[in-house]
Amino acid sequence: MAYFHINKERSFSFEEGEKIVKECIEYVVSGDDYSQAQAQNWTVNIVKRCATQLAQLGKSYKYIVTCTVMPKRDAGLHMASCCYWDNVMDGSFMVKWENRTMFCNVNVFIIAML
């Protein structure tokens, strides 16, 4: 398991975070086909649910969650992020999820509260 931490109480498991995010995506989208009319609601609900679930872990971190939902088509999507932070205490991960009609990418940034 990949972790970063200051001490045992403040450790953060990326695997646990990824599991939470995948469960949030599946809860919100729940097997639906892509719908442009629903995409905005999905993204808002996914980021809110992810942030709430991550905060309920009770760790001393702030969470920033972003979400992109797009239809599966012959188009590319390129994303990048750059952060200036403490590589020992802060981190990030991305979850890529898809079904037969859409892609969903969720980025989570974890920043230690001192």
**1 assigned to some structural domain:** no
**5 assigned to some structural domain:** no
User: What count of other Cβ atoms lies within 10 Å of the Cβ of residue 20?
Assistant: 20
Mean pLDDT calculated for residue range 63-90 = 85
**What domain count does the chain have?**
1
**4 assigned to some structural domain:** no
pTM for this entry: 0.87
- Which has the closest alpha carbon to 43: 105, 92, 93? 105
pLDDT tens string 40-68: 999 999 999 999 999 999 988 999 999 99
**2 assigned to some structural domain:** no
| Residues of the domain holding 94 | 11-112
Confidence of residue 79 (pLDDT cuts 50, 70, 90): confident
CA distance to 1, 20, 48, per residue, from 87 (Å) = 17, 22, 26
**47 assigned to some structural domain:** yes
CATH of the domain at 35: 3.30.1140.40
